[in-house]
């Protein structure tokens, strides 16, 4: 799950290859999306296109074959740092892309807007802030606390 803080600061998708959310093909109508979720579906589709476009720009920078041959040590170090940064961004965006596509599937099958853990409705404000969220805010906090405890326990065992 993408971090809530990062997800909440995400901007609306910019036009991608000359297209915007409003001009997306009629995916919404073709998929028989309930009216209640159409705007969420369109936003998710826009985010998906934005991430795919970002990935197409990051891939060449992440490819080690694109490193300059014969570069001095400082230049190679800078290129290696840029490649590592690009790889980390690609991993993060790939994770977010998977969450977005899962949310679109939940809309299509009718389970969107319900917490996967409790079955309770997810607040509209939360869905607007993080349209791919799987959990209510309370459940997310509980899950994060559990992960933190498990991580702390794992570190204690390593000592």
Encoding tokens for residue 80?
A: 């290696």
CATH number at residue 106: 1.20.120
Whether the model pTM is above 0.85: no
Please state, as a whole number, how many other Cβ atoms lie within 10 Å of the Cβ of residue 50: 21
Whether 23 has a pLDDT exceeding 80, the answer reads no
Residue 114, beta-bridge partner list:
121
Residue 130 lies in a domain: no
Residue 42 lies in a domain: yes
Whether 117 has a pLDDT exceeding 80, the answer reads yes
Q: How far apart are CA 41 and CA 25, in angstroms?
A: 12
**Predicted local confidence at residue 19, as pLDDT:** 43
What's the structural domain count of the chain? 1
**Predicted local confidence at residue 17, as pLDDT:** 40
Residue closest to 99 by CA, chosen among 26, 62, 47, 50? 47
Residue 155 lies in a domain: no
Residue 77 lies in a domain: yes
């Amino acid at each position: 799950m993408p971090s809530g803080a990062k997800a909440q600061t995400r901007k609306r998708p910019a036009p991608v290859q000359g297209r915007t959310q409003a001009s997306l093909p009629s995916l919404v109508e073709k998929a028989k999306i309930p009216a209640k979720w159409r705007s969420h579906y369109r936003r998710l589709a826009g985010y998906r296109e934005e991430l795919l476009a970002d990935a197409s720009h990051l891939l060449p920078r992440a490819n080690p074959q694109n490193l300059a041959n014969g570069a001095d040590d400082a230049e190679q170090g800078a290129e290696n740092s840029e490649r590592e940064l690009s790889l980390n961004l690609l991993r993060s965006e790939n994770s977010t892309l998977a969450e977005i596509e899962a949310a679109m599937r939940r809309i299509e099958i009718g389970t969107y807007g319900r917490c996967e853990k409790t079955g309770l409705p997810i607040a509209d404000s939360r869905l607007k802030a993080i349209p791919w969220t799987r959990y209510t805010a309370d459940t997310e906090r509980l899950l994060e606390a559990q992960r933190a405890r498990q991580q702390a326990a794992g570190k204690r065992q390593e000592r």
